[in-house]
Amino acid sequence: MKSKSLSENEFLSLLQKVLPEATNDTHLAAAIFDRVAKEIRTLRSLQRFEAFCVEGSLPDLEPATVSNLENDLASNFGKENVAVTPLETGDAVAVEIALPDRTVKTRLKVQNPDTPPVEEEIKARLVPFPVALPEDPDLLWVLARREDLPPEEAARSLAAIEEEFWASKAGLKLQKDRVERTFGEFVANVPAAMLADSGLKRHYKEPETRQTLKRLPPGAPKSAKD
């Protein structure tokens, strides 16, 4: 029988019930509950905003419109953690939400509801782009690149993105927190938007060991049991 996932309210109710049984310190139990509830609300707000960036838009770039967006985001994530920057092209705003454990960078397009939408160009499909380091050629990070992006150019872009990431606010914070500056940590922590802007995508954060297929000679049994 397929188990049913707990809803947000069900989980918080369960946590509120269990915490007093796990500790006699009521202040500690309350602090843990408040912290978990806040983290869940933040996660849900991020998910809703990222979905809005995919489907929604701003009607214009008037100061009042941009200010309203900033105020809405500030109410969820804190004013000091939000930066909204209109792009010079005038067709979108860049949004950065810097939280203690992660930084979200995305774009929200500008589309006047009275203006017919412009037909989007057909995007090139993604193809596998396995990457290995010279010192360990058998360890592969499975990424993806646009089909129209040559592998050599994709490799150069990836190297440039890595340098840009470690020099960014998120990258510097990781280094300050003693996270080792390695390619593996870069792949695990780089925002998806930084890769997407260059036609790349992260499929898996963890590397895989390259496997060599051993061909069976004609007539050989398929397994030891045979």
**Other Cβ atoms within 10 Å of 206 Cβ, number:** 9
Q: pTM above 0.85?
A: no
For tokens 């396995």, the residue is: 130
HSE, side-chain direction, 13 A CA sphere, residue 113: 4
Coil/strand/helix, residue 194: helix
- Residue 189's identity, in one-letter code, is N
The model's pLDDT over 160-210, given as tens digits with 9 standing for 90+, comes to 999 999 999 999 999 999 999 999 999 999 999 899 989 999 888 888 888
Mean predicted lDDT score pLDDT of the chain: 84
The model's pLDDT over 121-132, given as tens digits with 9 standing for 90+, comes to 567 789 999 999
